[in-house]
Structure 1
Amino acid sequence: MKKYLFCIFLVCSFKSFAGIERISKGSFIVNLGISPQTKANGLKPYGLVYDLLQNFNAPVKWAINSSKSKDGIDFTYNNTPYRSGSFIVLAQYRTAEVNEAIEGWKTKGVIGETTDTEISVDIYATLNYAPKWTIDKMSGQLITPFFVNADIPASAHGGSNRTAWKTPAELTECDDIFILPHADPVWASHQNLLFWNKDRKGAIWSGCHAVSVMENIVSPDGLMSMNFLTTTGMVKYQNHLDGIPPYTYQYPADPVMQFVNKMDDASTNGSESIYLPKANGKWRPGAKLSITSPAHSQVPSLSPGPASVLAYGFGFDDPTRGLVMYQGGHYHDGGIGGGFGGTPFNSDHVALQRAFFNFSFMAVVDRQSKNVSPQITAAGLMRAETVYPVSFSVPGNVNLSDYEVEWTASSGSITTSSDKKNISYTPPSDENIALCCLQWL
């Protein structure tokens, strides 16, 4: 008996870049600049945003002052200075259900207010859909506390244990961000990150010594390497000293750097807290070394430096690839006793985890940067080996001749028309497949 397939259709979205926008009266502003930073006021707001995007299809504005200094003010409303980025839910999306959700998040500690006048705000981007994370099976338990702290459900990243986490070979176009905490990747198991980052614009986040191990992976024939952010790889984690706080913070208006104060205390632990390019290489020119240790004693004797605690950029400096970010340290959710084991959870850990979520939202904004938002029409339930029509429409102000239309499917087959606006989709007959993803690119 042939199985039925429930097909998920992913809707691509507009990317809205920085610029002054008028925010309407009745909008809800989330205040992420409260001190001291806690899980409630610093991390739960990301859970709110995920909830609104995933469950209510409510776009969220991300406000960042593009010319501010570290911990500077993004904007002021009603005598309240808003810092470290702010999320805004426009009045027109505040349905009764959305308002109920916002009130629920406020009881969890999210702080914000509703505007009673219009306000002009510098907007970095409009978030249109929730990220889909997936966690490496090796040591994903190190990252799951981030999601618990933000109250983002385990379904957002594949589940609370490794049963539903993925190996790089299992990544598809339906995955946005691959998370690789402390681990020992090798070419045989992790080579697909190289191709997924390129072909699917997949984003990669990595921490602790998985970073230098991955940056030094070379294919058996020596023709390919996985040094995404350096030219020739990194000094191995066993061969260099830790970072030396206080660290230097740069790019205060970058979306990744939207957090309060510092994360030094959350980074100086584990088997690798800082990253150094090899002596015969350097950081790729496009890599942003957002947090550095300028006093590192092994620069330049061991490495040309700089020694970086947080670095990110496009893989191989190629803007058609996905973004890659590295964060030093192992006990990102706090440890016991200090030193190698980390320190008890504090505001520095909030800052580090905020940088992770900032990168995640920035990555999906970037991934959909050249796409418009189509309305896809198709059957929700499909039978294997049966042909089904699929079509899409776009907003009236979109000229399709400005875009190249491509379709992909994680399984099954697609037959396109001459203009690719109408296609035929045939689900596969593989009885082991219960879910497929069809995407308009």
Structure 2
Amino acid sequence: MLYQTLLRMLCLPATLCLFLFSILSAVKVQAQELPPPASNVQNIESGAYLIPLDQSKQQATITDAVNGLTFSGINLAAYGLVHLLLQNGIPVKWAIKASKPKDGIDFTATVARLYPSAQAPATADFVGSVFVIDMADINQLVCNPVNTPAFPDIDSLITAFGNDVAVYTLNTATPIDVRYTLRFAPEIAVLNNGGNTAAFTQIFNAAHIPYSEIGNADLQTATDCYTFILQPNATGAATVTTTYVAAVNNFINSGGNFWAQSGMALALENQGLFMTTAGILGINTAITPPFNYVASAMPVLQFEGNFPAGLTGDMGTFGLAAGSSWRPATYPCLLLNLPVGANQFVCYAADVNGAIAGGNLYYCGANEFSLTAIAPTPANAAEILQTQRMVLNAAFVPAAINYACAGNDICICRGESVKLGCTEGGFAVGEVSWTPALGLSCTDCPNPIANPLVTTTYTVTPVNGSCNAFASVTVTVIQDKPQVSNLDIDCNTDKTAYTVSFTMTGGDAATYQVSGNTGTFNGNVFTSDPIPTGTTYTFSAGDSYHCDTLVTGSFNCVLCQPAAILTGGGSACLDGNVSALDLQVSFAGQAPWELYYAIDGEPQLPVSSEIPDFTLSATQSGQYTLVSVEDAHCFGSVTGTASVSAIPVPVVNLGSDTTLCLGEVITLNANLPETDLLWQDGSTQNTYATAVSGTYWVQLSNECGLAADTVVVTFEDCSAPRCRPLLPDAFSPNADGVNDLFTVVFNCEVSYFRLLVFDRWGQQVYESSNPHESWAGLQNDRSLPLGLYVWKLEYQFAEDAEDPHRIAKGNILLLR
């Protein structure tokens, strides 16, 4: 019967069933799992969790009710805790020193025990391999949209698992030889085709690791469901058929790991010739020391102490059959320490598939590793538990079987892609189906490349086989990756160093971080500390989601020589007019440029240019001088001046229509420097005198424009007395004694008088209620400029005091 467990995720309550978002692809292991193993020393930072496997640290008191025995032995539940962590997506590093003797030290470190109870820090040796949870490494892989907590709650998982598993923490960074980084929990099956299954399932029960029991039929149809299959001892002649051998061969060459015990190892090898050219033969049914642990640095031999003496089986020790030899990619694990040529092996191993991960085959003598196999004592009972670790170790060696595994939930930055599936190998194209197809490179391959635009959950289902299993993986897409803009490099004044600044936008602004060269943030603008000129800068700009943008380059301030030259000048229609005089500025250096200048010594707002030939618009008269120039990186030199003068825009006002007495003469004034004049009769003088009624006009023009005005003059007989006000149409308050004041003259007595004067924009500049007072062209004791002003007069004569007030309006030209 097939007990399906491959989809079983041993999650704790919902709050504890946490999944690590990882951007790493499936675990990579060496294709040939052979001695001597390669060293892979990594610097593990302080704060890492350690799950030791040496008995002095991972010890439990065990009661064997069947034999009435209580003893101290290794707590196999340590493997179960690792299995749980892997199920919850937490990668675990398996530390095994590459060159060590049996029970040699893997590493020495200062540690403190955290679970099941705390112990003070101490320096300790670790042997028998160690499982490491590298917190510093894991924290860099977390996709955590809310940023709280910073990492899945490993402590809650450990506490909820319980079983008195000892867990330590590193107090200082330590170099550790890492054999594998495990990322997926093994899927384990135990064949129940004989009477010895319970002797091995109890190992996984003691370790609290889920497994499936399968029969021979399942072996032929469901091998893609598992990473490790264990064959307990059974009747080899009846069990190991041609079909059975083919199924084992398919499983191993697809990347699965297989363990055959005692007589089943003998039958399997002699039928399949996996390790030898002509088979093996059993030598002794009993296994007695002395032993030689020749593969002490290989995973399967990671147990502490001696192999138990006195274990027996259909096959205890074995050797090569006559004319047989070991194939390449095989190696002895454990043999009797006898003279050369005796050829008695207890355990042998091979990496059969060679080209891909997994594919490991293990043969071991003795029918079972259990307390019922020998007369137990506290000493050999502890040895039995250590020997059971050989099976657990083999189960945790990475395989290349997909077993309908979609991989860990993954967090990627927008625009990135990721490979799905647990391993490479196992299923072939056409044997699986992925849905949905959105963002996938293929839907029928074991390891599609996913590049979704939004967070997507993908499901993989085997097309063939009896697993009827499926698995899902969620690819979380961080939509808003921090962007870098406004990159700016500024040299110091002596050009020995420079700073780099840039603006960060998007992403999680509250957790912006920049690594690489040091510096400071001002809001979302980062500015580096001074960097020696000519050296390279490298920044990694990101946020707590770990979506970073790389900023790198170099700059040599000595080569930075910006300059600005000012040319041009002249006269133009300026000072309040819409026209401007274009001055030319030539830049040298790196765009953009920032130019500082002054007019008659008064600093002006700086101007910027992205092009080397720049036009500076002069809108007022004065002497233009350059003060300084800065290009994209540094300050430079400036030269040149420009003199700018203003040409007045023509303006004329002949005054209001007026009535005079016959015999009087009126002089119309249109004098304005630097203009051309034209009167209605073609004359061009500045003034025009007349004593004749008529319509008179004048036109003034220059390069800044044209102005014209018309006035109607009427002469009438004034011999009869008549009351009326008399007002001039122009005056020149220049203290020359001629027309210096604007005065209203009456030829009758007035009972009411009010005079208002306004400038061309309607602003009142003068007011008087005294008919004997004159206006001198001032406002608040300040001389007003040349121009046309508007007056309004309200008055009443004494002789008609009962009539309404009279109102008169007109224009007055102020000349200077």
The verdict on a shared fold, with TM-score over 0.5 as the criterion, is yes
Q: Which amino acid aligns with 1:262?
A: N
Change (3 A) 1:439 1:112: closer
Q: Which residue of 2 aligns with 1:398?
A: none
- Secondary structure of 2:393's counterpart equals helix
Change (3 A) 1:413 1:76: closer
| Greater Cα offset, 182-191 or 11-20 | 11-20
Residue 251 (structure 2) pairs with residue 205 (structure 1): no
User: Distance between the aligned counterparts of 2:462 and 2:105, measured in 1?
Assistant: 53
Q: Displacement, 1:84?
A: 0.9
User: Distance between the aligned counterparts of 1:434 and 1:367, measured in 2?
Assistant: 13
Q: Which residue of 1 aligns with 2:503?
A: none
1:261-340 to 2 correspondences below 5 Å: 261-265=305-309, 268-295=311-338, 306-315=343-352, 322-335=359-372, 338=375
Q: Which residue of 1 aligns with 2:280?
A: 234
Structure 2's unaligned 5+ residue stretches are 1-5, 10-23, 31-38, 63-72, 111-122, 140-150, 446-459, 474-816
Q: Which residue of 1 aligns with 2:288?
A: 244
Q: Which amino acid aligns with 1:144?
A: T
1:419-434 to 2 correspondences below 5 Å: 421-423=441-443
Residue 55 (structure 2) pairs with residue 34 (structure 1): yes
Taking structure 2 as the reference length, the TM-score comes to 0.41
Residue 200 (structure 2) pairs with residue 143 (structure 1): yes
User: Distance between the aligned counterparts of 1:76 and 1:52, measured in 2?
Assistant: 24
User: Distance between the aligned counterparts of 1:76 and 1:204, measured in 2?
Assistant: 33
Q: CA RMSD in A?
A: 4.3
Q: Displacement, 1:176?
A: 1.0
Q: Which residue of 1 aligns with 2:300?
A: 256
CA contact (8 A) 1:315 1:323 kept: yes
Q: Displacement, 1:351?
A: 2.1
**Structure whose residues are more often helix by fraction:** 1
Q: Displacement, 1:414?
A: 10
Deviation string 1:33-91 (CA, Å, 9 cap, x unpaired) is 1249657744111111101001x100001111112222111111121111110001122
Q: Which residue of 2 aligns with 1:167?
A: 218
- Secondary structure of 1:147's counterpart equals helix
User: Distance between the aligned counterparts of 1:97 and 1:422, measured in 2?
Assistant: 35
Q: State which of 26, 29, 36 in structure 2 corresponds to 1:13.
A: 26
1:47-58 to 2 correspondences below 5 Å: 47-54=80-87, 56-58=88-90
Change (3 A) 1:52 1:429: closer
Residue 77 (structure 2) pairs with residue 44 (structure 1): yes
Q: Which amino acid aligns with 2:280?
A: M
Q: Which residue of 1 aligns with 2:173?
A: 118
User: Distance between the aligned counterparts of 2:185 and 2:154, measured in 1?
Assistant: 15
User: Distance between the aligned counterparts of 1:207 and 1:122, measured in 2?
Assistant: 31
Q: Displacement, 1:135?
A: 1.8
Q: Which residue of 2 aligns with 1:353?
A: 388
Structure 1's unaligned 5+ residue stretches are 1-6, 218-225, 378-391, 396-402
Q: Which of 1 and 2 has higher RCO (CA within 8 Å, sep 6+)?
A: 1
Q: Displacement, 1:170?
A: 2.1
Q: Which residue of 2 aligns with 1:215?
A: 269
Residue 133 (structure 2) pairs with residue 101 (structure 1): no
Q: Which residue of 1 aligns with 2:656?
A: none
| Greater Cα offset, 325-334 or 133-142 | 133-142
Deviation string 1:273-299 (CA, Å, 9 cap, x unpaired) is 122220110222422211101438xx8
Q: State which of 116, 129, 140 in structure 1 corresponds to 2:184.
A: 129
User: Distance between the aligned counterparts of 1:72 and 1:429, measured in 2?
Assistant: 47
Q: Which amino acid aligns with 1:353?
A: Q
Q: Displacement, 1:192?
A: 3.0
Residue 445 (structure 2) pairs with residue 394 (structure 1): no
CA contact (8 A) 1:373 1:394 kept: no
User: Distance between the aligned counterparts of 1:165 and 1:150, measured in 2?
Assistant: 25
**Structure whose residues are more often strand by fraction:** 2
Q: Displacement, 1:133?
A: 1.2
Q: Which residue of 1 aligns with 2:119?
A: none
Residue 248 (structure 2) pairs with residue 181 (structure 1): no
User: Distance between the aligned counterparts of 2:353 and 2:152, measured in 1?
Assistant: 46
Q: Which amino acid aligns with 1:187?
A: T
Q: Displacement, 1:13?
A: 1.2
Q: Which amino acid aligns with 1:248?
A: N
Aligned length: 381
Taking structure 1 as the reference length, the TM-score comes to 0.73
Change (3 A) 1:114 1:412: closer
- Secondary structure of 2:266's counterpart equals helix
CA contact (8 A) 1:60 1:90 kept: yes
Q: Which residue of 1 aligns with 2:212?
A: 158
Q: Displacement, 1:409?
A: 6.2
Q: Displacement, 1:151?
A: 1.4
User: Distance between the aligned counterparts of 1:208 and 1:233, measured in 2?
Assistant: 14
CA contact (8 A) 1:201 1:322 kept: yes
- Secondary structure of 1:290's counterpart equals strand
- Secondary structure of 1:347's counterpart equals helix
CA contact (8 A) 1:137 1:167 kept: no
User: Distance between the aligned counterparts of 2:317 and 2:365, measured in 1?
Assistant: 5
Change (3 A) 1:208 1:116: same
User: Distance between the aligned counterparts of 2:105 and 2:269, measured in 1?
Assistant: 36
- Secondary structure of 1:134's counterpart equals strand
Deviation string 1:294-346 (CA, Å, 9 cap, x unpaired) is 438xx85xxxx6211111111277767711011211131221654xxx87861
Deviation string 1:93-130 (CA, Å, 9 cap, x unpaired) is 5846321222345x423223122332221111101001
